[in-house]
């Protein structure tokens, strides 16, 4: 089968389309014929080993041999392991692997998949897992969002942000999204009650207004991010679209600062480390079936143009998700 692999860290030019053996499956895994994948900042961070911390998990000097890039996917089940009870060959599924979705087939643990909603295309379904899990777990689990709360999402027009705005609305919040001028209409169309144009207004000046602030951008100090919160509000630290390139820790530095500061402030500071799982995928599928949320697709690239898709996402200005047709 064809798969996108890389044998040194660097820009998208290091990627090569290779002929490799189809993966075998463990007893709890499913072989999925990939119909679509999606791109996340996670992918270029692994491709470049940026932050350098990535090297600890996939290879100190170079990527371990045989690794295939890509996490999010949607496709058709081809074979199942002995212990797999949830899926059968022919099922249309979506979900995520740690690495390996930029390929014609991939082995996926059954607890990282769910059945694809019938009305959803493969490209849309592939765009869900990493971004929507992060948004959901940040708002509902770490953020403990309850209906009626006022929520601000910084980075509302990106992969995670477009899900966060819709999920916060679906969970009953009053939502403010922060984005640039060109994305105001998009963020409003997702249900935001209010929009802050980051080119015209600094949301950190809105002192004491929000019960929960989800920061996906990572370009402000914790002191500034806490300012728009009520005295008992919650800061949810998700990521760093605009932070930490070329550093040892990258966006993890903000996460670390948050963890260190949390015991000393009255507001809650929490961090998100998304955990893909079937239960949350089913919850998201149900919301999509009821048309409460929908993936926002910016662009779709063919499988042969994955390096181009990565180049685009790396610039940090995607509007929603970027999908790959396999
Ligand atoms: N904690 C976790 O579990 C977890 C999981 C997954 C990802 N992450 C991290 O989360 C971050 C975001 O991921 P993503 O998929 O949402 O990224 P993304 O889709 O690449 O984000 C791009 C969006 O960010 C917006 N943006 C850029 N600069 C901004 C600014 N200063 N203020 C407001 N918006 C700005 C862009 O809008 P404009 O073009 O209008 O500027 C664009 O729409 C990444 O750093 C990723 O590594 C964390």
* pLDDT tens-place string over residues 46-86: 999 999 989 999 999 999 999 999 999 999 999 999 999 99
Q: Measured between alpha carbons, how far is 140 from 163 in angstroms, rounded to an integer?
A: 13
Q: Does 320 fall in a domain?
A: yes
* Residue 150 and residue 50 in one domain: no
From the CA of 241, give the closest atom in ligand 1: 45
CATH assignment at residue 101: 3.90.180.10
* Residue 140 and residue 73 in one domain: no
DSSP letters spanning 214-265: EE-S--S-HHHHHTTEEEEEEEEE---TTS-TTSSSTTHHHHHHHHHHGGG-
By most ligand atoms within 8 Å of CB, the mutation choice from 225, 239, 320 for ligand 1 is 239
Helices 159-170, 129-136: axis angle to 10 degrees equals: 50
- Average pLDDT, integer, range 207-213: 97
Closest CA to 68 of 108, 129, 17: 17
* pLDDT tens-place string over residues 179-207: 999 999 999 999 999 999 999 999 999 99
CA torsion angle 104 109 110 111 (round to 10): -130
Decide the pairing of beta strands 15-19 and 92-96: unpaired
* Residue 111 and residue 139 in one domain: no
* Residue 124 and residue 134 in one domain: no
> Terminal CA-to-CA distance of the chain, rounded, Å?
12
Burial 296-326 (b: 16+ CB within 10 A, else e): bbbbbbebeebbebbebbbeeebbbbbbbbb
Q: Does 281 fall in a domain?
A: no
* Residue 221 and residue 94 in one domain: no
Whether 246 has a pLDDT exceeding 80, the answer reads no
- Average pLDDT, integer, range 167-180: 98
**What's the pLDDT band for 249 if we cut at 50, 70, 90?**
confident
* Residue 78 and residue 115 in one domain: yes
Least confident of 88-92, 256-260, 296-300: 256-260
Q: What is the Å distance from ligand 1's center to 239 Cα?
A: 7
Number of domains in the chain: 2
Q: Does 160 fall in a domain?
A: yes
Q: How many residues does the chain have?
A: 326
As a whole number, the mean pLDDT across the chain is: 96
pLDDT of residue 241: 79
Q: What is the Å distance from ligand 1's center to 254 Cα?
A: 14
* Residue 68 and residue 146 in one domain: no
* Residue 259 and residue 246 in one domain: yes
From the CA of 313, give the closest atom in ligand 1: 20
* Residue 204 and residue 141 in one domain: yes
* Residue 30 and residue 124 in one domain: yes
Is residue 242 lining ligand 1, measured as CB closer than 6 Å? Answer: yes
Bridge-partner residues for 56, per DSSP?
none
Whether 244 has a pLDDT exceeding 70, the answer reads no
Is residue 197 lining ligand 1, measured as CB closer than 6 Å? Answer: no
Residue 52 domain boundaries: 2-128+295-325
Q: Does 250 fall in a domain?
A: yes
Q: CB of 137 within 8 A of CB of 267?
A: no
By most ligand atoms within 8 Å of CB, the mutation choice from 141, 188, 220, 241 for ligand 1 is 241
* Residue 124 and residue 203 in one domain: no
* pLDDT tens-place string over residues 133-160: 999 999 999 999 999 999 999 999 999 9
* Residue 207 and residue 230 in one domain: yes
Q: Determine which residue's CA is closest to atom 28 belonging to ligand 1.
A: 242
Q: Determine which residue's CA is closest to atom 9 belonging to ligand 1.
A: 239
From the CA of 137, give the closest atom in ligand 1: 3
Whether 298 has a pLDDT exceeding 90, the answer reads yes
Q: Does 280 fall in a domain?
A: no
Q: Report the predicted TM-score, pTM, of the whole model to 2 decimal places.
A: 0.97
């Amino acid at each position: 089968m064809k798969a996108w692999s890389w044998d040194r860290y660097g820009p998208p030019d290091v990627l090569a389309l290779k002929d490799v053996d189809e993966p075998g499956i463990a007893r709890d895994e499913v072989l999925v014929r990939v119909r679509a994948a999606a791109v996340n900042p996670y992918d270029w961070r692994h491709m470049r080993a940026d932050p350098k911390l990535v090297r600890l998990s996939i290879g100190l000097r170079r990527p371990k041999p045989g690794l295939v890039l890509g996490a999010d996917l949607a496709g058709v089940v081809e074979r199942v392991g002995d212990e797999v009870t949830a899926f059968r060959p022919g099922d249309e599924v979506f979900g995520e692997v740690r690495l390996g979705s930029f390929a014609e087939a991939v082995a996926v643990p059954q607890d990282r998949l769910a059945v694809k909603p019938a009305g959803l295309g493969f490209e849309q379904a592939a765009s869900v897992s990493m971004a929507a899990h992060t948004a959901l777990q940040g708002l509902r689990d770490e953020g403990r969002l309850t209906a009626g709360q006022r929520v601000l999402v910084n980075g509302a027009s990106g992969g995670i942000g477009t899900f966060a705005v819709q999920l916060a609305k679906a969970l009953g919040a009053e939502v403010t999204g922060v984005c640039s001028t060109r994305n105001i209409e998009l963020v409003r169309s997702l249900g935001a009650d209010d929009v802050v144009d980051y080119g015209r207004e600094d949301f950190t000046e809105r002192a004491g207004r929000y019960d929960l602030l989800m920061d996906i951008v990572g370009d402000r100090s914790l002191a500034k991010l806490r300012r728009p919160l009520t005295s008992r509000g919650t800061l949810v630290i998700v990521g760093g679209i605009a932070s930490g390139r070329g550093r040892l820790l990258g966006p993890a530095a903000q996460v670390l600062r948050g963890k260190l500061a949390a015991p000393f402030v009255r507001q809650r500071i929490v961090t998100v480390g998304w955990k893909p799982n079937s239960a949350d995928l089913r919850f998201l599928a149900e919301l999509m079936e009821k048309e409460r949320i929908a993936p926002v697709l910016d662009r779709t690239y063919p499988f042969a143009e994955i390096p181009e898709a990565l180049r685009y996402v790396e610039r940090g200005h995607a509007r929603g998700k970027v999908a790959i047709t396999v």
